[in-house]
Structure 1
Amino acid sequence: MRKVKEQSKRQRRGSSLRGRREPSTVNRELRIRGTTILSVRHKGRVAVAGDGQVSLGETVMKHTARKVRRMYHNQVIAGFAGAAADAFALFAKLEGKLEEYQGNLPRAAVELAKDWRTDRVLRRLEALLVVVDQECSFIISGTGDLIEPDDGIIGIGSGGPYAAAAARALVKFTDLDLKTIMQESMRIAAQLSVYSNDQITIEEL
């Protein structure tokens, strides 16, 4: 009888563990992924561009999403890579910080990064932000990272490294204007990243 009871306990324990694994596998398969966000500073101006594709697993769900927006009286531009709902929650939090610190982006970005890392609700949000104003450019992550690039060029998301590499080459070796650099860099990224497209939104300061 003892052996039978022990075997039945093991079977129940094994079935419960298998039951726990299945939802996480499904979630991994259906995770929203992809994006190309690019920011470039050039000749006294700054721009942020985003592609329009939203992918769910292996399926393209939308071609014309807007992943870039202006905030704080059009003085700040922000773009996101990651889950859209999480990003919009972070945008709202950032706007609150900008209002609190009267448009001081470095201070607002530092405070957002601190809250994002320490707040139990915020740290569950899965997104990566690029925020810029006339003077500063930052990447903000949920691990508390706040990164300011040396050359004013940022690329995040699946196509971000391709777009940033193309932008650096175009800035260094051509006389193209900022908007053209953004367009061509994003098109190159769209050709290389299967999770990005060439439906581009560009905001410029």
Structure 2
Amino acid sequence: MTAHDPIQWHGTTILSVRKDGQVVIAGDGQVSVGQTVMKANARKVRWLAGGTVMAGFAGATADALTLFERLEAKLEQHPGQLTRACVEMAKDWRTDRYLRRLEAMMIVADRSVSLVLTGNGDVLEPEDGVVAIGSGGSFALSAARALVDVDGMDAEAIARKAMRIAASVCVYTNENITLEKL
């Protein structure tokens, strides 16, 4: 990194697994700037809508917190309608000049649906109940998909194992996992 390069914040692995009526979102705790670990215990998974919606973010923290606030407002306008609230927020994210500059992605889930939201206006529902974002997202996603059909493993066990695997491969992911479940 030269003196003229912007500081590059890397990191984050967020994973959601839905299996047998249970849904979890797990996130690692590492925040990296370049090759330096700045924080090892960041909390990237939160509750929204009075504890009925879980959300995890990858990207710039301030941007993600702004998006959480916006989503919370949409959930208040459309209570119990996570998909509709996300679509409305995605519209704002794409069209609002300020929001378009935000660099973050989110996974959100309630009892019935899991979704990925992006600044491109995407609101994506995984077809198999497993989704991941962030620098270690592809590693966690692959591991979780391999484990999802294993008998005796519930959503939480799958998420924990997949996150450990991602942490063993991705230098921007650690094993300090925050996990929330419904």
TM-score category, normalised to shorter length: over 0.9
Moved segments of 4+, more than 4 Å: none
Unpaired stretches in structure 1, ≥5 consecutive residues: 1-21
Aligned pairs (5 A) from 1:1-205: 25-27=4-6, 30-205=7-182
Instruction: Give me the whole-angstrom Cα distance separating, in 1, the residues matched to 2:167 and 2:94.
Output: 32
RMSD: 1.2
Following superposition, the deviation at residue 38 of structure 1 comes to 0.2
Following superposition, the deviation at residue 170 of structure 1 comes to 1.0
| TM-score (normalizing by structure 2) | 0.96
Instruction: Give me the whole-angstrom Cα distance separating, in 1, the residues matched to 2:168 and 2:21.
Output: 29
Count of residues paired in the alignment: 181
Following superposition, the deviation at residue 173 of structure 1 comes to 2.9
Q: When you count helix as a share of all residues, which structure comes out higher?
A: 1
Secondary structure, aligned partner of 1:121: helix
Following superposition, the deviation at residue 164 of structure 1 comes to 1.1
Instruction: Give me the whole-angstrom Cα distance separating, in 2, the residues matched to 1:55 and 1:197.
Output: 10
Instruction: Give me the whole-angstrom Cα distance separating, in 2, the residues matched to 1:31 and 1:174.
Output: 41
Following superposition, the deviation at residue 33 of structure 1 comes to 1.2
Instruction: Give me the whole-angstrom Cα distance separating, in 1, the residues matched to 2:13 and 2:170.
Output: 8
| TM-score (normalizing by structure 1) | 0.86
Q: Greater relative contact order (Cα 8 A, min sep 6): structure 1 or 2?
A: 2
Render the CA deviation track for 1:4-51: whole Å, top value 9, x for unaligned. xxxxxxxxxxxxxxxxxx87x421xx1211110000001011000000
Instruction: Give me the whole-angstrom Cα distance separating, in 2, the residues matched to 1:70 and 1:109.
Output: 15
Instruction: Give me the whole-angstrom Cα distance separating, in 1, the residues matched to 2:117 and 2:131.
Output: 11
Render the CA deviation track for 1:121-180: whole Å, top value 9, x for unaligned. 000000001011011111100011111110010010011111111111111133212221
For the pair shown, the structure with the greater C-alpha radius of gyration is 1
Instruction: Give me the whole-angstrom Cα distance separating, in 2, the residues matched to 1:124 and 1:189.
Output: 28
Alignment correspondent of 1:18: none
Instruction: Give me the whole-angstrom Cα distance separating, in 2, the residues matched to 1:80 and 1:62.
Output: 16
Query: What percentage of residue pairs aligned between the two structures are identical?
Result: 55
Render the CA deviation track for 1:57-77: whole Å, top value 9, x for unaligned. 111000000000011011000
Alignment correspondent of 1:6: none
Secondary structure, aligned partner of 1:151: coil
